[in-house]
């Protein structure tokens, strides 16, 4: 590249992408649907729905058990999805990829299988004040039973992790469990730095990547993670399936989480022998059709390119902040870092004295879908000194017109409530 060449900035053809999502053709209250709640659950393109339908119509059977043709086709499709996930996140082997119901189940699996075997009185688990309840409550439940200590990394006033006391917090810790990207603040955390600090203290790192994997290229090795979880439904895939990735030696050493069929190699009246990885953690009939949908969702995102996805979200975040503040001024406060390079495509905000649920209800009249509430992050809400926020979150199918519709609706909400 010569000194005059500029790096190519990847772009998304949002108009073409929108046409892939049938639900975005719908009208609500006579207006086009504007979906700004992808941080809760993303919509699904036709390619994902069609992949699931085709499999269900032509090749569905239970996996790993039958030797007839469609059973073997089902097993091949299910394991192909696992291999696709492994490649997508840079796993060393598909055997490190465990399918779960969702990321919440993945964290509970680690807490119950690894945690019960390794944590007790005198031990420490470190989390942060910005975590989703799914990365707090399982550890609280286990701490109450096993008697270990929970510590939390505090936040700065601009919604970033305050790492000044991290060495002290990690002293004696066996696990640091942290979100890669906040579902409320949008904050992108320095996962590699956290991994190095955890490992230097002799602790493992568990990463909640629900808000990272759908939006940024994710490499578990580059991150330095020991465990990582995410959910398909936040990355254009179906509900009912999530992923736990763990290093082979850790998963090998962990006892099974659930007992039953499929997770065994042998069962006797006096005991059982576990199956190999990853199947020893996949008891019973798994979400087979959903695995096919997850495979298709990864194919769709790969075709778009995660660099282009990220660039689009940064551009849209810049536009959202400038437009919201330009139209609504100081009457609207967006929580979290101000630099779009440090955050994902999420904006949690307070608007005048209007309650977030009232904001959401008025926006619905304009067919604009946003989330209102504590976003499963009550400790974070208390840290912010509020009970709830309204939250808009954008993804590959959103554009500046969607942000404009949000701002128009918010202005109308302010007029409606006389705020």
Q: Given a cut of 80, is residue 6 above it in pLDDT?
A: no
Is 119 domain-assigned?
A: yes
Q: What is the pLDDT of residues 303-320, one digit of tens each?
A: 999 999 999 999 999 999
Report the distance separating Cα 168 and Cα 264, nearest Å. Answer: 42
Spatial contact of 381 and 387, defined as CB atoms under 8 Å apart: yes
**What pLDDT is stored for residue 417 in this prediction?**
82
- Same domain? 203 vs 327: no
Residue 389: pLDDT band with limits 50, 70, 90: very high
Q: What is the pLDDT of residues 34-50, one digit of tens each?
A: 999 999 999 999 999 99
- Same domain? 81 vs 196: yes
Report the distance separating Cα 211 and Cα 38, nearest Å. Answer: 10
Q: Considering 258, 279, 303, which residue would you say is the last residue of a domain?
A: 303
Is 42 domain-assigned?
A: no
Paired strand residues for 246: 227
Residues annotated as catalytic are 376
Domain containing residue 127: 49-303
Report the distance separating Cα 68 and Cα 306, nearest Å. Answer: 38
- Cβ neighbours, 10 Å, residue 249: 9
- Cβ neighbours, 10 Å, residue 61: 15
Q: Considering 303, 324, 345, which residue would you say is the last residue of a domain?
A: 303
- Same domain? 204 vs 335: no
**What pLDDT is stored for residue 2 in this prediction?**
46
**Would you call 390 helix, strand, or coil by DSSP?**
strand
Mean pLDDT of 251-266: 96
**What pLDDT is stored for residue 128 in this prediction?**
98
210: closest CA among 308, 113, 132, 309? 132
- Same domain? 280 vs 316: no
- Same domain? 19 vs 54: no
- CATH number of the domain that residue 408 is part of: 3.90.1150.10
- Same domain? 225 vs 346: no
How many domains does the chain fold into? 2
Is 360 domain-assigned?
A: yes
- Same domain? 369 vs 316: yes
- Same domain? 231 vs 189: yes
């Amino acid at each position: 590249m010569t000194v005059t060449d500029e790096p190519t900035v990847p772009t998304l053809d949002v108009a073409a992408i929108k046409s892939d999502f049938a639900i975005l053709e719908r009208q609500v209250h006579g207006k086009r649907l504007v979906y700004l709640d992808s941080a809760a659950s993303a919509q699904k393109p036709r390619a994902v729905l069609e992949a699931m339908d085709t499999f269900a119509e032509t090749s569905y059977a239970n996996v790993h058990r039958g030797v007839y043709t469609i059973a073997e086709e089902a097993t091949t499709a299910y394991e192909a999805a696992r291999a696709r996930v492994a490649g997508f996140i840079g796993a060393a082997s598909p055997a490190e990829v465990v399918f779960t119901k969702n990321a919440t189940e993945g964290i509970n699996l680690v807490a119950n299988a690894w945690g019960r075997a390794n944590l007790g009185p005198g031990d420490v688990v470190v989390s942060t004040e910005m975590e989703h309840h799914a990365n707090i409550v399982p550890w609280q439940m286990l701490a109450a039973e096993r008697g270990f200590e929970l510590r939390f990394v505090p936040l700065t006033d601009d919604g970033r992790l305050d790492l000044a006391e991290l060495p002290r917090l990690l002293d004696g810790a066996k696990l640091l469990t942290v979100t890669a990207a906040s579902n409320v603040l949008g904050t992108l955390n320095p996962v590699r730095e956290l991994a190095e600090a955890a490992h230097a203290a002799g602790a493992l790192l568990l990463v909640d990547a629900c808000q990272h994997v759908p939006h940024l290229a994710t490499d578990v090795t580059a991150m330095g993670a020991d465990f990582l979880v995410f959910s398909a439904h936040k990355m254009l895939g179906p509900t009912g399936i999530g992923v736990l990735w763990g290093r082979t030696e850790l998963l090998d050493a962990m006892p099974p989480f659930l007992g039953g069929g499929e997770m065994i190699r042998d069962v006797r009246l006096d005991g059982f022998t576990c199956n190999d990885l990853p199947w020893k953690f996949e008891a019973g009939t798994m979400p087979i059709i959903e695995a096919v949908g997850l495979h298709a969702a990864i194919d769709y995102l790969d075709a778009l390119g995660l660099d282009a996805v990220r660039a689009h979200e940064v551009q849209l975040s810049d536009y959202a902040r400038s437009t919201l503040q330009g139209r609504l001024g100081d009457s609207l406060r967006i929580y979290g870092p101000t630099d779009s390079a440090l955050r994902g495509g999420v904006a949690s905000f307070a608007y005048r004295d209007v309650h977030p649920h009232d904001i959401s209800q008025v926006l619905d009249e304009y067919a604009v879908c946003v989330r209102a509430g504590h976003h499963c992050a009550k400790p974070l809400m208390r840290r912010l000194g509020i009970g709830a926020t309204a939250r808009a979150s954008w993804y590959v199918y959103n554009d500046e017109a969607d942000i404009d519709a949000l701002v128009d609706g918010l202005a109308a909400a302010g007029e409606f409530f006389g705020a």
